[in-house]
Structure 1
Amino acid sequence: MSNLSLEEQNKKIRERMENLSEIRFEPFPQDSPWLRPIRMTFIQDGKKKQWDLMRAHESVSIVVFNTDRKKLVFVRQFRPAAYYACLPEKLKEVDLKKYPVTLGLTIELCAGIVDKDKPLVEIAQDELREECGYEAPLENFQKVITYRFISSSATKQTLFYVEVTDAMNIHSGGGAENEGELIEIIEMSIEEVKKYVASEEVQSPPCFLNGVSWFLANKKDRYDTL
């Protein structure tokens, strides 16, 4: 486990995360291992239609609650898609002073894609260890729901809930260094979480709101002792 405090660790990760330069946009590669675009044509109610879509990996996400400190544990990282959405179309050069890297930082549930041939709960356990540094036994994981996230792709995501303690924190987390992950660990009290999700603009994906809403509605006995 790192000797750095969480604040010190996040500061170092944030410095590396925001060390971004030479941004450019290129045509989509047909051999992408993550997204596979395709055009679907069909006839519906006698009318020919078409829809552009993508196939993407399924994923798991985890609501993590530290019972020792009564805090939810999230992750924050730079998401290129979130950053790109903040830029005007057909922008050739990105002015990082006008469009700072922080526009692409999102607070999310601990999560990961399903790219291994193993049970989903074991993938969730791996992601918890890699991203947040907690080693929780499989029996601590509760499967909540499997649902589809639908946009230009329709991917299946399974939500888990796990309770952890400080004793389970075996290392500082931060993601898999060999995969280039740079992840801040964010801890929020119940009041902080409620205030965040009630704000006018939440820099988080829908699965984050779904997981937090489920926790607040179903685990009141675990946190309503403050």
Structure 2
Amino acid sequence: MGKDKRIKNITSTVLSQFWGKLERIDFDFKFKDGNWKRLSHEAYGKSDGVAILLYNPETRSVVLSKQFRIPVYVAGVSEGYSIEVCGGSVDEGESPESCVIREAQEELGYHVSNLKFISTVFLSPGIVREQVHLFIGEYRDSDRIDNGGGLEVEGEEIEVLEMSFKEALNMIDSNEIIDARTIMLLQYIRINKLL
């Protein structure tokens, strides 16, 4: 945790470590008026993550995935299915670049050689400590090495979707694409006129 003279007496209690670590963090915080107050927050996370949007400048298409997400289901949205960019968790000792190349092969079935880093973001900084490293990558049909679909040992069942860039943008407007990483990367492609 970073050093800030307005924060002191930090304690952490692990509440759960089932998949990621959920911890309660208690600390004293000095407000602008000079008063100190004891605050408590929860922070959740496993490791940093990656996400990549594959795009084809020749066909003006993108590759996305569709998979079941229990938080989406519990929220009562789209029967729990999310259309999104490829992503995953960075393993210990692995670089974000190596991770995103591995995930693109496992989930989408594409070999990525033309990788561009876009940004590192927090998607929900009020509770989740995961930083997500965002990438884009050009692909050609010849970069497809298998059908993708994810890893059975990780409980993944991923449908690979190749669609026109225009169709993907329309899916944002129709709320079929609700994943923040996907929206950011599609908008990056649009703003920078890559397709």
TM-score, normalisation: structure 1 = 0.71
Query: What pairs with 1:114-133 in structure 2 (closer than 5 Å)?
Result: 114-133=90-109
Distance change in 2, residues 1:213/1:49 (3 Å): same
Identity of aligned residues (%): 26
Task: Summarize deviations over 1:65-112 as a string: whole Å, max 9, x none.
Answer: 13453211001110011111229xxxxxxxxxxxxxx52100111001
3-state SS in 2 of match to 1:134: coil
Task: Summarize deviations over 1:98-130 as a string: whole Å, max 9, x none.
Answer: xxxx52100111001112412211111100100
Stretches of structure 2 lacking an aligned partner (at least 5 in a row): 1-14
Over aligned residue pairs, what C-alpha RMSD do you find? 2.0
Report the Cα distance in structure 2 between the residues aligned to 1:119 and 1:153, rounded to whole angstroms. Answer: 20
Preserved contact between residue 105 and residue 203 of structure 1 (Cα < 8 Å):
no
1:188 Cα shift?
2.0
Does residue 1:65 correspond to 2:55, yes or no?
Answer: yes
Preserved contact between residue 37 and residue 55 of structure 1 (Cα < 8 Å):
no
3-state SS in 1 of match to 2:150: coil
Report the Cα distance in structure 2 between the residues aligned to 1:173 and 1:55, rounded to whole angstroms. Answer: 26
* One-letter amino acid of the structure 2 residue matched with residue 143 of structure 1: F
Query: What pairs with 1:77-156 in structure 2 (closer than 5 Å)?
Result: 77-86=67-76, 102-137=78-113, 140-149=114-123, 150-156=125-131
Q: Which residue of 2 aligns with 1:192?
A: 167
Stretches of structure 1 lacking an aligned partner (at least 5 in a row): 1-28, 88-101
Does 29-38 or 128-137 show the bigger shift?
29-38
Distance change in 2, residues 1:208/1:151 (3 Å): farther
1:166 Cα shift?
0.8
Structure 1 or 2: more helix by fraction: 1
* One-letter amino acid of the structure 1 residue matched with residue 143 of structure 2: M
Structure 1 or 2: more strand by fraction: 2
Distance change in 2, residues 1:48/1:178 (3 Å): closer
Report the Cα distance in structure 1 between the residues aligned to 2:159 and 2:49, rounded to whole angstroms. Answer: 20
Query: What pairs with 1:200-219 in structure 2 (closer than 5 Å)?
Result: 201-218=175-192
Which residue of the other structure, out of 120, 145, 154, is the alignment partner of 1:179?
154
Q: Which residue of 1 aligns with 2:19?
A: 33
1:146 Cα shift?
1.2
Report the Cα distance in structure 1 between the residues aligned to 2:154 and 2:20, rounded to whole angstroms. Answer: 14
